[in-house]
């Protein structure tokens, strides 16, 4: 099996139906692994790019495996994709922290009891392993009077898929000790 992908994969997610998401910094490939000896490339999708930098860092199956949410860290945004038809299509996009100018979105976790609900973890994103970014976080954390758009947050945001739209349900703020 050989497949073309739009970018180096940084995340792989499999669901109970043996569908695999191969997530790249700006692309997503969906692979059917129901027969492990004959994998099939189902679809490929170029994810929306930002003006400056783009890095999708996590993805998850939601809404009974009919849709995918993908998390972009630099714009702190989510995209909702429909995967029921042969071609993946963009349904919705939501900026989670519209006033922030630093990457703070880290991880997605789906509610195991309701696949229409999921949580997004937000905070200093050290997964990017960029020396310049880590230096920026350290600088920001040491500043007393940081610019609001550069102040980090530590929180979980609960979202849900409702009629092909992303809705924010609640936010749980966490304090550092």
pLDDT for 100-135, tens place per residue? Answer: 888 889 999 999 999 999 999 998 766 665 666 666
pLDDT for 21-51, tens place per residue? Answer: 999 999 999 999 998 888 888 889 999 998 8
Residue 149: phi, psi to the nearest 5?
Answer: -70, -15
- pLDDT at 144 > cutoff 60: no
Please list, in sequence order, all residues whose beta carbon lies within 8 angstroms of the beta carbon of residue 37, skipping any fewer than 6 positions away. none
Q: Give the strands of the sheet with 27-32, arranged side by side.
A: 11-14, 19-23, 27-32, 40-46
Do 140 and 147 form a contact (C-beta atoms < 8 A)? Answer: no
Please list, in sequence order, all residues whose beta carbon lies within 8 angstroms of the beta carbon of residue 173, skipping any fewer than 6 positions away. 153, 154, 155
């Amino acid at each position: 099996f050989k497949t073309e992908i739009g970018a180096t994969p940084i995340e792989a997610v499999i669901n109970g139906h043996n569908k695999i998401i191969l997530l790249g910094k700006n692309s997503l490939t969906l692979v059917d692994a129901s027969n492990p000896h004959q994998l099939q490339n189902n679809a490929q999708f170029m994810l929306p790019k930002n003006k400056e930098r783009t890095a999708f860092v996590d993805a998850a199956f939601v809404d009974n495996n009919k849709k995918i949410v993908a998390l972009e860290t630099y714009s702190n945004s989510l995209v909702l994709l429909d995967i029921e038809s042969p071609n993946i299509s963009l349904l919705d996009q939501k900026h989670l922290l519209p006033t922030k100018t630093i990457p703070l979105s880290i991880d997605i976790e789906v509610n195991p009891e309701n696949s229409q609900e999921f949580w997004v973890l937000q905070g200093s994103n050290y997964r990017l392993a960029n020396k310049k970014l880590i230096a920026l976080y350290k600088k920001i954390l040491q500043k007393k009077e940081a610019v609001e758009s550069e102040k980090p947050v530590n929180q979980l945001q609960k979202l849900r898929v409702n009629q092909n739209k992303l809705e924010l349900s609640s936010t749980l703020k966490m304090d550092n000790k």
